[in-house]
């Protein structure tokens, strides 16, 4: 009975020799990482130490670009402003989010699942569009300012400046703190609180001495994420800042105004330094407070049942979230206003703006989809391979691979943009003005997202399953194709959709590397805003928001997670 | 079925860790022949699983050789060794039906569809799984999943079958049934099998031969009854079955035998020393302090003063076919265990008693050896 099997076994070629395939794939991935990640970041770092128009030689190294931060008021102010904005935004998001997180976790809130889904809308929507809706309300010609002027004759202050930036960014980013904290509260062990209760502690005491201290790492993670994102945000300070400059707007100013890439690199490095300090701080919090409080128990912690607590909790949570999506609702409303000049209400409503956007501006929309799609495919391919290698192989210098890939994760997008512009503008590989520079910058920026998603998926799959396939006689490629990839496919796909949905509205990188031939939806919106074509900008923005929400929804169905969990 | 021979020669594995190199497997030699059921047994971290993984090719050896039918296997990729393996976690492919799981190895070998169907049907029938072919692993019980993983490992008629603690995740009753089932199928197909477990009862009951590992070293290999009756080290004596240990002073070494005196002053004449490792036998000379080992069924309990060693009976357990007396005794390093086929009159929990050793069944070891 064994003849047939034995014959085919023998026909499978020589038994000796190495399966080269995994090594070839690993080396290829390594080259991609070096050329498009390590090289640009390294070159940008070096560039910041030479002056504009100087060659990159040892003798030309100088700290002049950094001396600006001490000597030039424009730089000093931008640095101070960035820190101020980031610090206030972080404080504001924590203050806004903590009561909401506690209420959602510990008070009966009707339509809770809906609320959690709702909470990611501010995160998905492009922040500069949200910022613009504040101009619609409180700008020079803002709706509410006009109402107050017409109805009561009161001149209320405009939204421009640091207060407006902090307001817009806080409402945009607070869901990070909210989702992290709420998740930690929901997962914490109810028995810990109960044992405190049995020992005689009143609720308020339990909240201060047990509940919140235990979720400090989650709050810290959310807060640091907000700090880092705020530092890297370009759109909001660009729309609301006017003369109030921060590091990101200064960077764009140096590039678009003077094409001074060396100065921009130095600003980028300063920005990264601030980011690293924040990340280091987070690591400290998390190391000092590493508790295991998450439990597999299905029992939820005891909820407040008092009428007063319920009313207060519901009122707070719902008003906060309605306020947070208000910018998007205003954008949506404005997108239907065909004519609205100097009156309380639009003169004409209809689909005209959409008609205009979809017929005359199809190219930027197509460009966005093409560039984001290509970058997503690249990121899924290399992100998956890198995640596989990092999770499943032991080799020297593995930490270097992990660190290189995760670098853009903590680096603001605009810095990736500067790095690509600096690196591929001259030298061996000139990509400036092409589609590939945008696509590759997107790819590098989002690689870490796929890497993380797929790493998590792979760590869920028992290594023994791969080994079982090997033992059955499958070479590495066959095992990958038939076993490993099919098992992590949902994670890859969900990660891919999420990346795609964030890339079609990407502004920070795009503003640096785009060219006239490759205008994207986000750049188009931004220019429409600057040109005061608000009705078109809002229509484009609405399309982008709805497209993004649908994609995230599809991704969440695919992995069977709630939409809120996709962001935790 | 050809008469396969697997030979391990000085197989060694050194893992480099942050705290320096750790020798997980230290110069292991053994061979397995034909349709033998060979078990590697030992406490966790003893190197048995690492040895199995080196045979499978999932771990590369640091030194030594693995020969299969005189062909050097050592540097073959795992997927080219034509081995079947069953994992503790079953490691079934969760996205494939039971049929596709079982057919996997045949598809890799490029068999045509009709032959695959026939062979999978045969193996599923052998394991009593024919009804479940279209189910997914998640819909199967633990025992059924284990059968599927055995079917998957056997269907392509591998040169040998490796089993890595395959029963550890099953409940006690099923574990006993499955081990008999595995042995039945193994003998029916006549396939060489190498089994890893830390459960000595399991190893004793299913193996043709077993090998006891400790700290990366192969301590002893042989038939189960031989390893039990004639352990060559204190470690094996202690690990396999129950044992009593007494300090003993050699008073009269004589050829293959020796006279020893116990702490109580009683003298015992031992007829054989052959079980002690050859290299250590020479050390056992007059005046040497050694350890005497004797199995619970080779000691008797009786009234105080009757036997060699006095003890205080702490606990009496009725274990069905025999009665176990557990006593505390000033002369022994551990508790003294006496298994008696019937209750001894006058001995109760809390009473004083004495123990008689059968010299013919007692063994002499180096003090502190192997532990």
Predicted complex ipTM: 0.84
Measured between beta carbons, the chain A residues lying within 8 angstroms of B109 are 5, 8-9, 12, 473
Pairing outcome for strands B192-197 and B37-41: parallel
Q: What is the DSSP letter of B255?
A: T
Report the sign of the C-alpha dihedral through residues A252, A255, A261, A267, in that order: negative
Report how far residue A409's alpha carbon sits from residue A401's, in angstroms, rounded to the nearest whole number: 14
Report how far residue A129's alpha carbon sits from residue B105's, in angstroms, rounded to the nearest whole number: 56
CA distances from A26 to A141, A393, A475, A486, B78 (A): 57, 11, 16, 20, 20
Q: What is the pLDDT of residue B111?
A: 92
In which element (H, E) is residue B209 found?
A: strand B209-214
A495, A383 contact by CB (below 8 A): yes
Find the DSSP H helices in chain B.
48-56, 98-108, 113-126, 142-154, 172-189, 200-206, 224-229, 234-239, 278-281
Mark whether B79 and B15 lie in a shared domain.
Answer: yes
Mark whether B213 and B263 lie in a shared domain.
Answer: no
Q: What is the pLDDT of residue A375?
A: 96
Mark whether A366 and A397 lie in a shared domain.
Answer: yes
CA distances from B295 to B82, B181, B334 (A): 43, 31, 13
* Best to test chain B binding among A466, A473, A490 (most B CBs inside 10 Å): A473
CATH number of the domain that residue A94 is part of: 1.10.3720.10
Contact partners, residue B59, CB within 8 Å, separation at least 6:
B13, B50, B53
Q: Give the range among A166-170, A268-272, B12-16 with minimum mean pLDDT.
A: A268-272
CATH number of the domain that residue B309 is part of: 2.40.50.140
Q: What is the pLDDT of residue B369?
A: 46
Report how far residue A418's alpha carbon sits from residue A250's, in angstroms, rounded to the nearest whole number: 12
What is A196-252 written as a DSSP string? HHHTT--HHHHIIIIIHHHTHHHHHHHHHHHHHHHHH--HHHHHH-TT---HHHHHH
Q: Give the range among A148-152, A518-522, B20-24 with minimum mean pLDDT.
A: A148-152
Mark whether B11 and B114 lie in a shared domain.
Answer: yes
pLDDT tens figures, A525-556:
888 888 878 888 888 888 888 888 888 888 88
Site of tokens 């001495």: A209
Residue B276: band (very low, low, confident or very high) from pLDDT cuts 50, 70, 90 = low
Q: What is the pLDDT of residue B218?
A: 94
Mark whether A277 and A367 lie in a shared domain.
Answer: no
Interfacial residues of A (vs B; Cβ cutoff 8 Å): 1-2, 4-6, 8-9, 11-12, 15-19, 462, 464-465, 467-475, 478, 482-483, 486-487
Subunit contact B91:A467, Cβ cutoff 8 A:
yes
pLDDT tops 70 at residue B95: yes
Contact partners, residue A428, CB within 8 Å, separation at least 6:
none
User: If you average pLDDT over every residue of chain B, what do you get?
Assistant: 88
Interfacial residues of B (vs A; Cβ cutoff 8 Å): 56-58, 75-85, 87-89, 91-95, 104-106, 108-111, 115, 119, 149, 152-153, 156-157, 162
- CA of B75 vs chain A CAs: smallest distance (Å): 7
Mark whether B190 and B86 lie in a shared domain.
Answer: yes
B154, B185 contact by CB (below 8 A): yes
Subunit contact A18:B109, Cβ cutoff 8 A:
no
Subunit contact A472:B108, Cβ cutoff 8 A:
yes
pLDDT tops 50 at residue B274: no
Q: Give the range among A47-61, A66-80, B233-247, B263-277 with minimum mean pLDDT.
A: B263-277
Mark whether B263 and B356 lie in a shared domain.
Answer: yes
Mark whether A353 and A486 lie in a shared domain.
Answer: yes
B4, B192 contact by CB (below 8 A): yes
Domain final residue, candidates A293, A324, A355: A324
Q: Is residue A24 part of a domain?
A: yes
Measured between beta carbons, the chain B residues lying within 8 angstroms of A482 are 104
Domain final residue, candidates A282, A309, A324: A324
Mark whether A358 and A489 lie in a shared domain.
Answer: yes
Report how far residue B110's alpha carbon sits from residue A8's, in angstroms, rounded to the nearest whole number: 7
Report how far residue B190's alpha carbon sits from residue A513's, in angstroms, rounded to the nearest whole number: 68
Site of tokens 């597999």: A296
Mark whether A379 and A233 lie in a shared domain.
Answer: no
pLDDT tops 50 at residue A474: yes
Mark whether B57 and B79 lie in a shared domain.
Answer: yes
- Please compute the mean of the pLDDT values over residues B180-197 and round it to a whole number: 94
pLDDT tops 50 at residue A210: yes
Of B218, B220, B227, B347, nearest to B295 by C-alpha is: B227
pLDDT tops 60 at residue A497: yes
Subunit contact B84:A471, Cβ cutoff 8 A:
yes
Order of strands, edge to edge, in the sheet holding B299-302?
B299-302, B352-357, B309-318, B323-328, B336-340
Mark whether B158 and B274 lie in a shared domain.
Answer: no
User: If you average pLDDT over every residue of chain A, what do you get?
Assistant: 83
Residue B370: band (very low, low, confident or very high) from pLDDT cuts 50, 70, 90 = very low
Residue A88: band (very low, low, confident or very high) from pLDDT cuts 50, 70, 90 = very high
- The tokens describing A181, both together, are 């904290």
Q: Is residue B281 part of a domain?
A: yes
The number of folded domains in chain B is: 2
Residue B362: band (very low, low, confident or very high) from pLDDT cuts 50, 70, 90 = confident
Q: What is the DSSP letter of A107?
A: B
Q: Give the range among A342-351, A516-525, B68-77 with minimum mean pLDDT.
A: A342-351
Report how far residue A377's alpha carbon sits from residue A495's, in angstroms, rounded to the nearest whole number: 11
- Please compute the mean of the pLDDT values over residues A448-463 and round it to a whole number: 86
- CA of B194 vs chain A CAs: smallest distance (Å): 15
pLDDT tens figures, A305-351:
778 888 998 999 999 999 988 888 888 888 898 877 666 677 788 88
Mark whether B139 and B253 lie in a shared domain.
Answer: no
Which burial class, exposed, middle or buried, applies to A297 when counting CB atoms under 10 A from its CB (0-12, 13-18, 19+)?
Answer: exposed
Q: Give the range among A201-215, A288-302, B277-291, B352-366 with minimum mean pLDDT.
A: A288-302
Q: What is the pLDDT of residue A552?
A: 84
Residues, chain A, total? Answer: 568
pLDDT tens figures, A59-86:
788 888 888 888 888 999 999 999 999 9
Mark whether B246 and B177 lie in a shared domain.
Answer: no
Mark whether A250 and A354 lie in a shared domain.
Answer: no
Q: What is the pLDDT of residue A6?
A: 53
Q: Is residue A167 part of a domain?
A: no
Measured between beta carbons, the chain B residues lying within 8 angstroms of A471 are 56-58, 78-79, 81, 83-85, 153, 162
Q: Is residue B62 part of a domain?
A: yes
The number of folded domains in chain A is: 2
- The tokens describing A208, both together, are 């201060």
Q: Is residue B371 part of a domain?
A: no
Closest chain B residue to the Cα of A6, Cα to Cα: B157
Mark whether A277 and A359 lie in a shared domain.
Answer: no
* Best to test chain A binding among B105, B106, B196 (most A CBs inside 10 Å): B105
Domain final residue, candidates B206, B234, B262: B234
Subunit contact B108:A6, Cβ cutoff 8 A:
no
- CA of A464 vs chain B CAs: smallest distance (Å): 6
CB-nearest to B87 from A1, A9, A468 is: A468
Measured between beta carbons, the chain B residues lying within 8 angstroms of A487 are 94-95
Domain hosting B91: range is 5-234
Domain hosting A272: range is 76-125+174-324
Mark whether A394 and A465 lie in a shared domain.
Answer: yes
Mark whether B157 and B269 lie in a shared domain.
Answer: no
- Please compute the mean of the pLDDT values over residues B362-366 and round it to a whole number: 82
Subunit contact A6:B157, Cβ cutoff 8 A:
yes
pLDDT tops 60 at residue A295: no
Mark whether B199 and B299 lie in a shared domain.
Answer: no
């Amino acid at each position: 009975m064994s003849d047939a099997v034995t014959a085919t076994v023998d026909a499978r070629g020589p038994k000796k020799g190495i399966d080269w395939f995994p090594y070839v794939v690993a080396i290829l991935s390594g080259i991609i990482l070096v050329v498009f990640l390590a090289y640009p970041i390294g070159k940008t770092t070096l560039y910041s130490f030479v002056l504009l128009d100087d060659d990159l030689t040892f003798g030309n190294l100088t700290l002049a670009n950094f001396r600006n931060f001490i000597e030039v008021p424009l730089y000093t102010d931008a640095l101070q402003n960035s820190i101020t904005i980031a610090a206030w935004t972080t404080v504001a998001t924590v203050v806004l989010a903590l009561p909401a997180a506690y209420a959602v976790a510990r008070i009966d809130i009707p339509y809770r699942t809906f609320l959690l889904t709702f909470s990611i809308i501010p995160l998905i929507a492009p922040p500069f569009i949200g910022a613009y809706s504040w101009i619609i309300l409180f700008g020079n010609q803002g709706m509410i300012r006009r109402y107050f002027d017409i109805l009561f004759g009161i001149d209320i202050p405009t939204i421009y400046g640091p207060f407006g930036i902090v307001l817009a960014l806080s409402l945009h980013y607070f869901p990070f703190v909210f989702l992290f904290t709420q998740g930690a509260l929901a997962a914490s062990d109810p028995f810990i609180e109960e044992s405190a209760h049995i020992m005689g502690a009143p609720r308020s005491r339990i909240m201060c001495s047990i509940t919140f201290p235990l979720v400090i790492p989650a709050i810290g993670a959310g807060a640091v994420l907000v700090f880092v994102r705020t530092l890297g945000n370009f759109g909001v300070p660009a729309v609301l800042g006017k003369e109030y400059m921060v590091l990101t707007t200064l960077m764009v100013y140096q590039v678009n105004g003077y094409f001074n890439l060396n100065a921009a690199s130095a600003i980028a490095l300063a920005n990264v330094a601030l980011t690293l300090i924040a990340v280091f701080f987070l690591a400290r919090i998390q190391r000092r407070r590493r508790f295991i409080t998450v439990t597999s128990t299905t029992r939820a912690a005891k909820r407040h049942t008092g009428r007063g607590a319920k009313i207060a909790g519901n009122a707070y949570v719902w008003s906060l979230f309605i306020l947070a999506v208000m910018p998007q609702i205003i954008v949506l409303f404005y997108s239907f206003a065909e004519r609205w000049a100097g009156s309380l209400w639009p003169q004409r409503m209809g689909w005209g703006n959409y008609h205009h956007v979809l017929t005359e501006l199809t190219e930027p929309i197509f460009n966005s989809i093409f560039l984001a799609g290509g970058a997503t495919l690249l990121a899924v391919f290399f992100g998956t391979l890198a995640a596989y290698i990092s999770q499943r192989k032991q080799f020297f210098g593995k930490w270097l691979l992990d660190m290189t890939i995760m670098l853009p994760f903590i680096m603001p997008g605009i810095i990736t943009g500067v790095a690509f512009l600096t690196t591929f503008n001259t030298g061996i590989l000139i990509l400036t003005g092409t589609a590939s520079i945008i696509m590759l910058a997107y790819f590098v920026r989002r690689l870490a997202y796929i890497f993380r998603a797929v790493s998590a998926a792979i760590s869920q799959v028992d290594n023994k399953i791969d080994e079982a396939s090997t033992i059955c006689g499958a070479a590495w490629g066959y095992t990958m194709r038939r076993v490993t990839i099919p098992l992590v496919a949902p994670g890859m796909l969900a990660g891919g959709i999420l990346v795609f949905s964030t890339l079609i509205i990407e502004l920070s990188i795009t503003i640096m590397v785009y060219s006239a031939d490759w205008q994207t939806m986000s750049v188009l919106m931004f220019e429409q805003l600057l040109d005061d074509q608000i009705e078109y900008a809002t229509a484009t923005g609405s399309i982008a928001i709805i497209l993004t929400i649908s994609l995230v929804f599809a991704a969440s169905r695919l992995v069977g997670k709630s939409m809120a969990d996709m962001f935790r | 079925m050809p008469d396969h021979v697997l030979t391990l020669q000085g197989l060694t594995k050194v893992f480099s860790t942050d705290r320096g190199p750790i020798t997980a497997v230290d110069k292991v030699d053994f061979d397995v022949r034909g349709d033998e059921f060979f078990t590697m047994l030992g406490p966790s971290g003893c190197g048995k699983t690492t040895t199995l993984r080196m045979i499978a090719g999932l771990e590369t050896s640091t030194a030594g050789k693995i020969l299969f039918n005189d062909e050097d296997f050592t540097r073959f990729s795992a997927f080219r060794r034509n081995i079947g393996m069953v994992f503790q976690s079953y490691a079934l492919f969760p996205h494939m039906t039971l049929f596709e799981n079982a057919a996997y190895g045949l598809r890799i070998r490029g068999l045509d569809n009709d032959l695959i169907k026939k062979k999978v049907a045969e193996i599923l029938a052998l394991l009593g799984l024919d009804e479940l072919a279209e189910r997914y692993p998640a819909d199967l019980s633990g025992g059924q999943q284990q059968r599927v993983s055995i079917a998957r490992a056997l269907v392509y008629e591998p040169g040998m079958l490796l089993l890595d603690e395959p029963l550890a995740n099953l409940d006690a009753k099923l574990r006993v049934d499955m081990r008999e089932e595995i042995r039945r199928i193994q003998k029916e197909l006549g396939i060489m099998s190498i089994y890893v477990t830390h459960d000595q009862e399991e190893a004793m009951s299913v193996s043709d031969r077993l090998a006891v590992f400790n700290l990366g070293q192969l301590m002893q290999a042989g038939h189960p009854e031989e390893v039990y009756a004639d352990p060559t080290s204190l470690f094996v004596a202690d690990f396999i079955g129950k044992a009593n240990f007494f300090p003993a002073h050699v008073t009269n070494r004589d050829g293959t035998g020796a006279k020893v005196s116990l702490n109580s002053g009683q003298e015992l004449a031992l007829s054989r020393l052959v079980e002690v490792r050859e290299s250590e036998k020479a050390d056992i000379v007059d005046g040497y302090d050694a350890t005497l080992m004797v199995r619970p069924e080779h000691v008797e309990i009786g009234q105080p003063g009757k036997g060699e060693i006095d003890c205080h009976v702490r606990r009496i357990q009725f274990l069905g076919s025999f009665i176990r007396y557990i006593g505390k005794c000033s002369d022994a390093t551990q508790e003294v265990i006496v298994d008696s086929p019937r209750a001894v009159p006058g001995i109760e929990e809390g009473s004083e008693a004495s123990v008689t050793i059968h010299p013919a069944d007692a063994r002499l070891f180096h003090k502190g050896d192997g532990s």
